[in-house]
Amino acid sequence: MKTVIIKYNAGNIQSVLFALERIGVQATVTDDPALIRAADKVIFPGVGEASTAMHYLRGRELDKLIISLQQPVLGICLGMQLLCAYSAENNTHCLGVFNNVEVHRFRNEGTPFKVPQTGWNSIQQLKGPLFNQVDEQAFCYFVHSYYAELNDCTVACADYIHPYSAALQHNNFYGVQFHPEKSATAGEQILKNFLSL
């Protein structure tokens, strides 16, 4: 099985590589369209800022490549947000795989919550193959100021200030707002589930 991690200027790549190695998977980090197309599984990680990341993807035509992929694709954190239609972070039009889904900034005025959300939070209302053998209310590790609203593609929820999408799925595209590579046993199981799709 060939697993590829898309290389671009917003990837939290090293921690994902280490997490895959822990479960016995050697992944290739690349921005080569031929290698990405030939992969059995594609991981699209991300940390950083949406508009800069989209500018980089468009400049290399990786935006067109990603939305054309037929194999299972997993967006992580910013990677999941970029698969949505729009992000309020610098008014960014994204890839639109999760059609009509918008990404907004947490508004914490009048609450004791800090933005970004940083740390462990539980996920619930788990649906679909990504969450096989993952416990309802499992704890995962989050670091984010922006969130995807609840929508028809939501396959897991979390609550911080208000409920939001912890995971999305549409056809062969999956996205998680948390970092499975930093989410201990639950995260490891989610990565295994994705790789066995």
Active site residues: 77, 179, 181
Spell out the long-range contacts of 11-14 with Cβ–Cβ below 8 A and sequence spacing 24 or more.
11/45, 11/46, 11/47, 12/45, 12/46, 12/47, 12/76, 12/77, 12/179, 12/181, 13/45
Give DSSP secondary structure letters for 112-129.
Answer: S--SSEEEEEE-BS--SG
Element (H, E) at 48: none
Two structure tokens written together for 97: 């795989």
